[in-house]
Amino acid sequence: MSRSIDQFTTPFSPAEAFCIGGIISACDVHTNETGTSIWVLPVIHNPQKATPESLSAHKKHLENVFAEIPTITVSKGESDFTKYMQPNKDGFVFLFESKDLNTPENLIQRFANNILCSEESIRCAFISGVFDGRSSWDKSGKMITLDSRNELCAETICSILDSLSIRYNYNPPRERASGNPRKAQLRIYSTDVPDFIKRIGLISPTRIKDIENASICNFSEEFDTVLDGLTRIMGLRISTQTREYKKITREKFSIEAELDRKLLDDVINEIDSDIPEKPTYKGTPKKKKAPTKVSSSETYPRDTNTALNALKIAEYKCEIDSEHPTFIRKKNNLPYTEPHHLIPMAYSDNFDFSLDVEENIVSLCSNCHNQIHYGKDVEVILQPLYEKRKDLLARAGIYIAYAELLEMYK
């Protein structure tokens, strides 16, 4: 049976949490002729900002999300549209009736604490509802921004963001010299946008596209089945600011080095000169395998076939210089080169996708391989490899600036 927002009780469904978030974000209530409160959940865009196709897709997704919640949809051109939508704006609105909740204070009293005490997935759905219909993209600051209409509602939104460790800036309203007061505004920091869009996600095709277009590199989308149309973006990079990596202990480095040596031995034993086909880079992100416990550290497995593929793609030549001298292997007539993970496997926890992919494994002669591990002038080896591989890495969902990579080798 369909339920009104008066009947929302814990545990909230993701659709209910999304609905509550959108209503609290807009904080816009009207009263009809019978005295019933009408809460507005708007999807707002500047004129011609959103295409008719993206608006139609967005509306369809939200209709599916609210399928079990009584609502009325009002689109541009309909008689009541200007009653509920800001002047000169594109979009549409969803209307929700309530006999019990008629003020923002009522709304917050009913829902705020229950949302805050809900499991993380429900809090994420709430925040998605908050930002999905009304937020905008700040091009200069590379932030997701949201005009705040009510201080109590803003406090509730901030408390949920705090619970999810999403950083933000809240600017209270203030007067301007022009006489046009500035509205209060909530802004997700640019450095936190990638985490926001990976964990929270949005349904709005237009807003997703704005954030995608601002990224400094490629990305991978992940569609959620909990809320229709919800899109998360894995590995997004908005800023060139370097990330903070988890500190790697000496013990872990020692364990990882031993696993690298084992991989090299396995590759030497497995190479077969009779295999004629040459593999290619797959160009898609690969999910990480489950880590295994070695001593007190967790490590990620290396796949021998993946390393072999990387050597075959490089035609068993050194990728620093194909003319570097090599020797012929005992077991076959192939030149001897060694596989090396450009981004060390020890840093796997810092990335969304597997580092054990052909795109991250380079073929090196013995001298270059030793130099990249033990040489003083590591940049002579590292920088050209990075320039050759950065686009391939991006296609595999692995995003890293050169400064970040260099820090790993110090």
Burial of 132 (0-12, 13-18, 19+ CB in 10 A): buried
CATH 3.10.28.10-classified regions of the chain: 5-173+183-234
100 three-state secondary structure: coil
**DSSP codes, 243-282:** PPPPPPPHHHHHHHHHHHHHHHHHHHHH--TT--------
- Distance of alpha carbon 159 from alpha carbon 148, whole angstroms: 14
178 three-state secondary structure: coil
Closest CA to 399 of 239, 285, 235, 240: 235
The CATH number given to 5-173+183-234 is 3.10.28.10
First-to-last CA distance in the chain? 62
Q: What are phi and psi of 357, to 5 degrees?
A: -130, 155
Closest CA to 384 of 322, 334, 300: 322
Burial of 21 (0-12, 13-18, 19+ CB in 10 A): buried
Q: Which residue has the tokens 């008719």?
A: 52
Q: Tell me the pLDDT of the chain (410 aa) as tens digits.
A: 345 899 999 999 999 999 999 999 999 999 988 889 999 999 999 998 999 999 999 999 999 999 999 899 999 989 889 999 988 899 999 999 999 999 999 999 999 999 999 999 999 999 999 999 999 999 888 899 999 989 999 999 999 999 999 999 998 887 766 667 778 999 998 888 999 999 999 999 999 999 998 887 767 788 878 899 999 988 888 876 667 777 788 899 899 999 999 999 999 888 765 556 789 999 888 989 999 988 888 899 999 999 999 999 999 999 999 999 999 988 778 899 999 999 999 999 988 889 999 999 999 999 999 999 999 889 999 999 999 998 888 888 888 889 889 999 98
Vertex 153: Cα angle to 152 and 156 (nearest 5): 90
Closest CA to 313 of 257, 372, 358: 358
- Distance of alpha carbon 281 from alpha carbon 289, whole angstroms: 19
Closest CA to 263 of 322, 309, 296: 309
- Distance of alpha carbon 189 from alpha carbon 184, whole angstroms: 16
- What lies within 8 Å, CB to CB, of 312 at 6+ separation is 275, 278, 279
Measure Cα distances from 364 to 53, 125, 409 in Å.
50, 47, 16
- What lies within 8 Å, CB to CB, of 113 at 6+ separation is none
Cα dihedral 308, 314, 315, 318 in deg (nearest 10):
-110
CB distance 329 to 272 below 8 Å: no
- Distance of alpha carbon 174 from alpha carbon 118, whole angstroms: 34
Closest CA to 306 of 263, 353, 337: 263
Give the per-residue pLDDT at 1. 30
